[in-house]
C-alpha cells in the first residue's frame, strides 16, 4: 500500500472534494483522482461515493479512513523521533552510592543539558542494587563502592556478569561532624574519641562473599553503642547538621556542601582502609554524548573535592 495515497485519501475525506484536496496537497486533480482509484483497487473496496455535491465516504471508507489516520499519526511520531529537524529526547540514567561529590556533579551536569527534550534518572542505593539496576533495568550507568581488599571479588563478579568497569577514584573515609561538635575542635581524632557520640551509618553495605552481619562488623567499629541507620543522604546531612552529638564516616564532601550544612570533615589517623568508586556499564554499550558530559562533571568534582 502506498502511504502517499493513504494521505491523499485522508485529505479528500477531510475536504469532501477532489478539487479542494488537490489545492491543499499541491497535486493536479487528475493525478489525485487516479491515486484514489488505485488505492481503492488495491484495497478492494470503494472508499468514496462520487456525487454531484462531492466525495462522500462509504461505510467501508469510513472504517478505512479511521485506520489510515491512526497509521499516519504513528508515522508522524516516528518521524519526530528520528528525523533531524525534530530534536530527539535524550535519556540519562545512573545508579550511584550515596555520596555528596557525585550529587555535586549531578547539579553541574543539570545546568548544561540544554533546551532539547531530556529525561534524567538518578538513583542512590547500595552496590548490589546498582549492579542489578544496570543488568536488569534501564539504568545505563552505575557507580559501585567497595573496600580495596575486596577488589578480586568484585572484579570477578563484574566480569561474570558482562560488565565493563573503570575505577574513577579511591579514598579513605573521613569523619563528618557539625561545626558545633566538640570533635571539630580537636587537632587529632582517634577511634576512642568517638565512643560517646552517635554514629550515622548506612544500613545496607554489601560484599558478595560475606553475610550482611559480617560486613557490618568489618565496616563499623565495635566501640560505638549508639547508631542511627539511614537509607538516604538528605536525612544524613540534616542529622549531622542538627545534632552535634552525631558523626558519620563519608567519602570526601565538597566544600559547598559542608558550608551549606555547617559541617566539617576530619581525618582520622587510625583509619587506613581504602575504598574505590567504580563506574560500570554493560559490555558493548557505547557511551552517549550525555553520558560523557556527566562523566566529565564527575571527574571535575573529584578533582576539586579530593
Give domain 3-82's CATH number out of 1.10.10.10, 3.60.110.10, 1.10.260.40, 3.40.920.10.
1.10.10.10
pLDDT at 86: 58
- 262: cell is 555547617
The domain made up of 174-272 has a fold known as D-Maltodextrin-Binding Protein; domain 2 (3.40.190)
Q: Residue 227 and residue 127: Cα distance in Å, rounded?
A: 21
Of residues 205 and 33, the one with the higher pLDDT is: 33
- Residue 56: which pLDDT band, with cuts at 50, 70 and 90? very high
Exposure class string for 11-50: b at 16+ Cβ within 10 A, else e = bbbebeebebbbeebebeeeebbebbeebbeebeeebbee
As a dihedral over the C-alpha atoms of residue 168, residue 297, residue 249, residue 200, rounded to 10 degrees, the angle is: -130
Residue 208 has pLDDT above 70, yes or no: no
- Residue 215: which pLDDT band, with cuts at 50, 70 and 90? low
Residue 232 has pLDDT above 90, yes or no: no
pLDDT at 202: 80
pLDDT at 116: 83
Residue 123 has pLDDT above 90, yes or no: yes
Q: Residue 250 and residue 55: Cα distance in Å, rounded?
A: 75
Please state the rounded mean pLDDT for residues 256-262.
Answer: 95
- Residue 117: which pLDDT band, with cuts at 50, 70 and 90? confident
CA 274 from chain centre, in angstroms, equals 28
**pLDDT tens by residue, 40-50:** 999 999 999 99
Q: What is the pTM of this model?
A: 0.69
Q: Where are the domains of the chain?
A: 3-82, 87-167+276-306, 174-272
Residue 12 has pLDDT above 90, yes or no: yes
- Averaged pLDDT score across all residues of the chain: 89
pLDDT at 44: 93
If one looks up domain 87-167+276-306 in CATH, what number appears?
3.40.190.10
Q: Residue 74 and residue 77: Cα distance in Å, rounded?
A: 5
Q: Residue 128 and residue 142: Cα distance in Å, rounded?
A: 11
CA 126 from chain centre, in angstroms, equals 16
Identify the weakest region by mean pLDDT among 30-34, 138-142, 232-236: 232-236
Comparing 87-167+276-306 with 174-272, is the CATH topology the same?
yes
pLDDT at 304: 95
**pLDDT tens by residue, 85-97:** 656 678 999 999 9
- Tell me which H or E stretch contains 14: helix 3-15
Please state the rounded mean pLDDT for residues 122-130.
Answer: 93
pLDDT at 221: 62
Amino acid at each position: 500500500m502506498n502511504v502517499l495515497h493513504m494521505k491523499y485519501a485522508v485529505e479528500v475525506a477531510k475536504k469532501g472534494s477532489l478539487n479542494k484536496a488537490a489545492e491543499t496537497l499541491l497535486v493536479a486533480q487528475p493525478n489525485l483522482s487516479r491515486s484514489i482509484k488505485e488505492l481503492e483497487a488495491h484495497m478492494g473496496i470503494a472508499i468514496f461515493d462520487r456525487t454531484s455535491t462531492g466525495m462522500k465516504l462509504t461505510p467501508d471508507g469510513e472504517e478505512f479512513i479511521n485506520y489510515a489516520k491512526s497509521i499516519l499519526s504513528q508515522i508522524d511520531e516516528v518521524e519526530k523521533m528520528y528525523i533531524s529537524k525534530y530534536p530527539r529526547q535524550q535519556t540519562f540514567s545512573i545508579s550511584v552510592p550515596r555520596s555528596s561529590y557525585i550529587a555535586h556533579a549531578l547539579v553541574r551536569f543539570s545546568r548544561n543539558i540544554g533546551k532539547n527534550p531530556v529525561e534524567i534518572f538518578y538513583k542512590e542505593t547500595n552496590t548490589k542494587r546498582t549492579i542489578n539496576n544496570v543488568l536488569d533495568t534501564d539504568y545505563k550507568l552505575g557507580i559501585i563502592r567497595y573496600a580495596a581488599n575486596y577488589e578480586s571479588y568484585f572484579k570477578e563478579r563484574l566480569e561474570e556478569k558482562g560488565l565493563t568497569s573503570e575505577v574513577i577514584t579511591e579514598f579513605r573515609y573521613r569523619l563528618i561532624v557539625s561545626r558545633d561538635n566538640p570533635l571539630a575542635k580537636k587537632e587529632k581524632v582517634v577511634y576512642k574519641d568517638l565512643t560517646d557520640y552517635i554514629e550515622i551509618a548506612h544500613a545496607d553495605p554489601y560484599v558478595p562473599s560475606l553475610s550482611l552481619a559480617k560486613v557490618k562488623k568489618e565496616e563499623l567499629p565495635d566501640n560505638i553503642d549508639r547508631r542511627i541507620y539511614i537509607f538516604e543522604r538528605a536525612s544524613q546531612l540534616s542529622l549531622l547538621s542538627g545534632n552535634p552529638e552525631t558523626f558519620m564516616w563519608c567519602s570526601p564532601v565538597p566544600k559547598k556542601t559542608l558550608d551549606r550544612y555547617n559541617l566539617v570533615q576530619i581525618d582520622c589517623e587510625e583509619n587506613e582502609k581504602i575504598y574505590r568508586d567504580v563506574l560500570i556499564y554493560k559490555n558493548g554499550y557505547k557511551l552517549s554524548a550525555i553520558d560523557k558530559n556527566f562523566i566529565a562533571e564527575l571527574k571535575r568534582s573529584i578533582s576539586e573535592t579530593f
